[in-house]
Structure 1
C-alpha cells in the first residue's frame, strides 16, 4: 500500500521531433540514443515498438515559450486532448543501443491550426470570422473549420497478401485513421476519402452553409485486420448519432455561452498587441443582422428536431488496402442502431464482427468553454453538474455475421447481446467453434475514462494555494474495483453463455487500462488467447474527488462500498503490471481465470502503454518481453525528466530487467503501443491527395478559408525549426 502522490511528470511533455534529417527535415535533432540506467538489455530483444500519445497543440507550445509543454494547465483540457506524437523504439541494433525516433502526426488540420494561430489575418475582424481552434475538453474545435483529427490513440499493423512489407495505421475515435510510414513516421494518407465517410452529425454545420472542411468522423480507435480473408481486410466502423450525440451540440452551446457570458481564451495570441486588442469585441449588429441570426438559430433548432429522429447509424467498413470502401448499414430489429457512447474498440473472429457501445463517453460539460469571472464559473460549474452523467453500466453488443456482408446488399441485420459491467477495451479469440464467440474484457466498473480533474473540483476562493501542481486533465481514480472477465456469446443467436469467468483482486485490479499479448502474427487476433498483460492505474488519494464519487454513488454493480473505496484510496494501491492467465477445458472453453503473475511499481510510480515483444527463444504466450513507460516524481529529474522505459521478462514479472532513459526524452501521458518485426519504408501506391480531397468542400467556403488552405494546408507550411 502507498499514500504517495500521483507523479506530476505525466503533466509535461516535449513536442520536439527527433529523427534522421533525410526522414524528417523538421526534426530538432537525430534520434536519441537511450542510456541503460539499470540492468541489461536482453540479447534476444528485437524489432520496433511504436507508442503514441497526445502532446498538446501549437497553442500549448506558444504558452510555454518552449517545446516542453503542459497541455492541460488551463484546468479544463483533458490530458488526451492533443496532437498525436509517435515514439519508435528501435531494438534492431542492440550492439549500438536503443534509439528513439519521434514525430507529430501532421494531418491537414494541423497546418490549418498552425496558420490560424500564427497569422493575424485568420483571427477575426469586423469583416471576417475568427478561424482559430480552441481546446474544448477532449476536442480541439474551430467554429468555422471543424474538428481536429488528432491521431493520438492507437495503431493497427497490417500486411496484405500481395505486399512484401508491413503497413501501419494510426487512429483516433473522432477522425479518419491515417497510414504512416514506419521508417519516417510521416502521416502519409488518410484511409478513405472525405466523401467515403459520413459525419457523426450534420448539426455541426450552419444552415445554408457548406459543411466545415474538417468534419467530425466517429469511428473505432481500435479497428481490426484479418490477414486470412481475401488477401487481407481492414474492418472498422462509421457511426452517427442524432440530437443525443454530444458533438451535435458543440457549436450551438459554445456560441450561446460565448454570446451570453463572454469567453476569455486561455490560449495566448502571438500576434502584435495592436492586432489582438479588438479580438473579442463583437461588431455592432444591425437589426437585420440580428433578425437573420435569430432566423438561423431557429432553423438550426428545427433541423435538430428532425435530426433527433433520423440521425443514428452504424456502418461497417471493409477496406482492401488499395481501393474504395465497401460499406454496409447495420440494423437491429429493422431499425438503425443507436450508439450512445462510442465504438472505441471492435472485435473480429473468423465468422463475426463484434461491435460494442463501449464505456468511453464524450460529455457536454467537458466541452463547455472556460469562463473567467467567478460568477460565470459558478454558472458553468452548475451546468456541468446538471449535464454530467455516468457511463452506461451495461455493454450493448452487436454481432454481425461476416457472410451477410455481400456485394449489392446495403442493410444487414445484427444480433444483440447485453453483458453487465461496462468496458472500454476487450479482445476476442479469432476462432469461434460452434458459433461460440469468446470475449475477454477489462470491466472498468465505475471508472470513467471520460471524466478528469478540472478547475471545477476546486473552489479558487476557498481552497488554499496548492503545495503541489494540480493534476488538471488526469483521469479521476476508480470508484469501484475493476473486474477482468471472460464471456461467451452465441454469434448465431446472440445468447450469452451462463458461466462467465470473472476475477478481481483488492491489491491489483484497480483501473486495468491498456492490454497487450502475444499474437501468432502481428496482424490479427490469436486463435485463442492464453495470457493477457494489463497495466493498471492503482488507487491514488489525489485522484479521487467528490464529483466522481457523487456521479457513481448509485452504481448498480457495486462490489466495494464508497466508504471503503475512500479508505482504500487514502491508503493507496500501487500501479501495477499483471498477467491474466486463461485456463481452458477440453473444449477450449475458459475454465478458470487467474492472475498468474504481477509486479507492483514503487510508491509514486505509474505505468502506461505496455507492449508485448516476442522472443525468438520460444513461441509460448509468455516467451517475450513487456516494454512500457513509467512515470514518477515532479518531472524535474535532470537525467530522466521523471519518465523511463522499463523492460520486463514476460515470463517473470517480479522485477524489471532493464531501464532506459535520456535527458532529452520527455514523454507525457501515452496511450497504446504496437510492435513490428521490421520497420520498412512505405511502398504502397494508395494515397489520397490533400487538395483533391478537400477542394470540393473548400471552394464553397469564404475567401479567408480558401486562402488558408492555399497558403498553409496544401503546401504543408511549417514554422522554422527553433
Structure 2
C-alpha cells in the first residue's frame, strides 16, 4: 500500500521542530518554505476542500540546530463563522456551504508578493496572511467587484483561480473571475492597496470548465480552460458521470488593453489538446509567446475516492483514502507551445513524454524571480507514479476508451523528480523515490541571494539551475523535507529534515519560497470584512446576521 495511510489524517495542527537526519544542510540555503493544505478536521467530502492551512518552514536552524515547521489554520471570515456555528456548515463534493454562503477555503497555493503573502483557491478571492504569524489579514477586493457566480448573504461564490500571477513590471496581481454557469470570464487586477479591484469581461470568449491557472508574458496574459468539470448531478447526491473535456480554449489578452474604466477587453483565441491544469510562460515574449503546458489527460481532480469504490483491480478502496482525488490514469505529457496572436497559429516547440512517467498534478518547481522568468533554464517536475489503489472504476467508466489500460504497469510504480531543460524539455537529471514515499510540491530556492543588480527573489545565476529544490515527502514512518541540488537532482537528497519517527502531517498541496519574512504592514489600506456586510444581511435570521457582525467586529 504505497499511498501513505496517514495522508488524510485528522491530527491537530501542531508545531514541529525538524532536525537534520541525513546529509549536511548547506550554509547558503536561506529563506522560508511555505505550503498550503486542506484541514481534514473540517471533514471535507473531497479532501481538497477543507479549510485552508498555511505552513512555514524556516530554512535556517535555530541555535539548537532545529528547523521550525509552523502550520496555522488561516482564520478567514469563513473559518470564524464556522467556529461560531459549526452545526450550520455542510460539506459537499465541490466545497462547503452555510446559511451565510460558500466557504472560501484558501487552501491551495501560497503566493508571495515581495514581503507579502497570499493564500489562494479556485472558488474564492485571494486571502492575505501575515508571513510571520500566518494569521488572516484581508481578502482581496470587495465581493461585488469580482461579480460572484452566486451572490449569497455574506460569503459569495467567486469562481477564480488558484494561481494568480504577480506582474513584476506593473507591480500588480492579475487574477480572473468566471461565471460557473455561463463560462463568461473576466480579468481582475489588484494594485496592492485599497478595497477594490478592477475587472474587465473578456469579449466573445468562454472558459467552459475552470481557470485553475493563469500565466503571463511581458505584454500578454494567458488564460486557458483547465481540466476540472463540475457535475451538477453529483452536487445533488448522484454519481459523478462527467469526464473532463479532451481539449479547450486558450485566451491571449494584451495587457495594454486593460485600461481602468473600460468594461471589457478583446482577446485572441486558440484551441489546444490534450487538457491542462498548470502552465508557465516565459516572461520575455520578444521571440514569441512560449508556454510550458503540463497536460493532464486522464487526470480527473474532481473525482474523489469513496468508501464503496473499487480500484483498478476490483479491490475495495481502503477507507483511509476516502476523499483523496482519483490518481492519474495516463502517463504524463508536457509540451512547450508557441502562440502567435497575429496568425492565430499554435506551434509545438518541444515535447516530453515517457510512458514510464505517470502524471503530475501540482508538482513543478521553477525560478519565480523576474530574471528567472525572463530567461528560464530548468523546469523541475515530480511525477507521482502509477497507483492502482487510488484509481476507481467509476473514473475508468467515465473516460472509457480515452484511457488506454494496456499502458497500465503490472503494479505500483515509484515517484520521480526530473529536471528538464526549459527550452527543449530534454531530461537532464532524475531521482527515483522509494515506493512507499509520496513526494509533494517542490520549490526552487536560489543560491547567491543579494547579488549586485539582482531583484530580491533572484540568486546570482537565475533560471532554475543554480540553487536547491526543497520538497516535503509523505511516508507513514514519518514526514520528511528533502533538499536537492537543482543542478543535479540525480545525486539524491543532499540533506533531509525530519521530526521523530511516527510523526506525520496531512497531505500538502502547493508550495512556494520567500527569501525572508516580515510582519504584514498595517499601513496598507485593505478591505475589511465589515466592508462586505450590507443590506444583504437582512436575508438572514437576525441571530445569524448578529454572528456575522460579531465576526466583523472581532476582525477589527
Fold conserved (TM > 0.5)?
yes
- Mapped pair 1:158 → 2:113: yes
Instruction: State whether residues 399 and 494 of structure 1, in contact with CA within 8 Å, keep that contact through their aligned partners in structure 2.
Output: no
Secondary structure in structure 1 of the residue aligned to 2:544: helix
- Mapped pair 1:224 → 2:182: no
Query: For residue 659 of structure 1, what is the aligned residue in structure 2?
Result: 496
**What is the Cα deviation at residue 152 of structure 1?**
0.3
CA 368–419 in structure 1, closer or farther in 2 if over 3 Å, else same: same
Instruction: State whether residues 109 and 713 of structure 1, in contact with CA within 8 Å, keep that contact through their aligned partners in structure 2.
Output: no
Query: For residue 704 of structure 1, what is the aligned residue in structure 2?
Result: 543
**What is the Cα deviation at residue 155 of structure 1?**
2.0
- Unpaired stretches in structure 1, ≥5 consecutive residues: 19-31, 61-70, 118-122, 124-131, 160-165, 203-210, 243-310, 370-382, 584-591, 718-722
> C-alpha separation between the residues in 2 aligned to 1:477 and 1:184?
34
Instruction: State whether residues 153 and 171 of structure 1, in contact with CA within 8 Å, keep that contact through their aligned partners in structure 2.
Output: yes
Counterparts of 1:188-203 in structure 2 under 5 Å?
188-201=137-150
> C-alpha separation between the residues in 2 aligned to 1:552 and 1:700?
42
Q: CA RMSD in A?
A: 2.4
CA 5–365 in structure 1, closer or farther in 2 if over 3 Å, else same: farther
Query: For residue 454 of structure 2, what is the aligned residue in structure 1?
Result: none
Instruction: State whether residues 241 and 339 of structure 1, in contact with CA within 8 Å, keep that contact through their aligned partners in structure 2.
Output: no
Secondary structure in structure 1 of the residue aligned to 2:229: coil
CA displacement 1:587-632 (0-9 Å, x = unmatched): xxxxx32111111111111111211111128515211111111112
> C-alpha separation between the residues in 2 aligned to 1:181 and 1:458?
43
> C-alpha separation between the residues in 2 aligned to 1:312 and 1:478?
26
Query: For residue 315 of structure 1, what is the aligned residue in structure 2?
Result: 186
- Structure 2 residue aligned with 1:487, among 337, 340, 343? 337
**What is the Cα deviation at residue 54 of structure 1?**
0.4
What's the TM-score once normalised by structure 1's chain length?
0.71
Higher strand share: 2
- Structure 2 residue aligned with 1:48, among 32, 36, 49? 32
Instruction: State whether residues 330 and 358 of structure 2, in contact with CA within 8 Å, keep that contact through their aligned partners in structure 1.
Output: no
**What is the Cα deviation at residue 240 of structure 1?**
0.6
- Mapped pair 1:139 → 2:95: yes
Instruction: State whether residues 136 and 366 of structure 1, in contact with CA within 8 Å, keep that contact through their aligned partners in structure 2.
Output: no
Instruction: State whether residues 553 and 562 of structure 1, in contact with CA within 8 Å, keep that contact through their aligned partners in structure 2.
Output: no
Deviates more, 1:80-89 or 1:688-697: 688-697
Counterparts of 1:49-448 in structure 2 under 5 Å?
49-57=33-41, 60=42, 71=43, 77-93=45-61, 96-117=65-86, 132-142=88-98, 144-159=99-114, 166-201=115-150, 211-229=152-170, 232-242=171-181, 311-323=182-194, 324-332=196-204, 337-369=205-237, 383-384=238-239, 388-433=241-286, 436-448=288-300
Instruction: State whether residues 308 and 316 of structure 2, in contact with CA within 8 Å, keep that contact through their aligned partners in structure 1.
Output: no
**What is the Cα deviation at residue 512 of structure 1?**
4.9
Secondary structure in structure 2 of the residue aligned to 1:692: helix
> C-alpha separation between the residues in 2 aligned to 1:619 and 1:356?
31
> C-alpha separation between the residues in 2 aligned to 1:519 and 1:107?
27
Query: For residue 390 of structure 2, what is the aligned residue in structure 1?
Result: 543
Secondary structure in structure 2 of the residue aligned to 1:214: coil
Structure showing greater radius of gyration is 1
> C-alpha separation between the residues in 2 aligned to 1:599 and 1:362?
36
**What is the Cα deviation at residue 223 of structure 1?**
0.5
Instruction: State whether residues 154 and 532 of structure 2, in contact with CA within 8 Å, keep that contact through their aligned partners in structure 1.
Output: no
- Mapped pair 1:477 → 2:327: yes
Instruction: State whether residues 8 and 40 of structure 2, in contact with CA within 8 Å, keep that contact through their aligned partners in structure 1.
Output: no
> C-alpha separation between the residues in 1 aligned to 2:227 and 2:141?
26
Instruction: State whether residues 91 and 97 of structure 1, in contact with CA within 8 Å, keep that contact through their aligned partners in structure 2.
Output: no
CA 707–102 in structure 1, closer or farther in 2 if over 3 Å, else same: same
What's the TM-score once normalised by structure 2's chain length?
0.91
Instruction: State whether residues 13 and 666 of structure 1, in contact with CA within 8 Å, keep that contact through their aligned partners in structure 2.
Output: no
> C-alpha separation between the residues in 2 aligned to 1:365 and 1:94?
53
CA displacement 1:350-396 (0-9 Å, x = unmatched): 11111111112333355345xxxxxxxxxxxxx315xx211111131
- Mapped pair 1:714 → 2:553: yes
Instruction: State whether residues 79 and 669 of structure 1, in contact with CA within 8 Å, keep that contact through their aligned partners in structure 2.
Output: no
Query: For residue 519 of structure 1, what is the aligned residue in structure 2?
Result: 368
**What is the Cα deviation at residue 711 of structure 1?**
4.2
Counterparts of 1:542-691 in structure 2 under 5 Å?
542-555=389-402, 561-565=404-408, 568=409, 570-583=410-423, 592-616=424-448, 618-620=460-462, 621-633=464-476, 637=477, 640=478, 643-654=479-490, 655-663=492-500, 666-683=504-521, 684-691=523-530
Secondary structure in structure 1 of the residue aligned to 2:328: coil
Secondary structure in structure 2 of the residue aligned to 1:112: helix
**What is the Cα deviation at residue 52 of structure 1?**
0.7
Count of residues in correspondence between the two structures: 538
CA 35–548 in structure 1, closer or farther in 2 if over 3 Å, else same: same
> C-alpha separation between the residues in 1 aligned to 2:525 and 2:346?
41
Secondary structure in structure 2 of the residue aligned to 1:113: helix
> C-alpha separation between the residues in 2 aligned to 1:564 and 1:402?
43
- Unpaired stretches in structure 2, ≥5 consecutive residues: 449-458
Instruction: State whether residues 479 and 552 of structure 1, in contact with CA within 8 Å, keep that contact through their aligned partners in structure 2.
Output: no
**What is the Cα deviation at residue 543 of structure 1?**
1.5
CA 647–696 in structure 1, closer or farther in 2 if over 3 Å, else same: farther
**What is the Cα deviation at residue 79 of structure 1?**
1.4
> C-alpha separation between the residues in 2 aligned to 1:89 and 1:390?
38
**What is the Cα deviation at residue 312 of structure 1?**
4.5
> C-alpha separation between the residues in 2 aligned to 1:87 and 1:425?
22
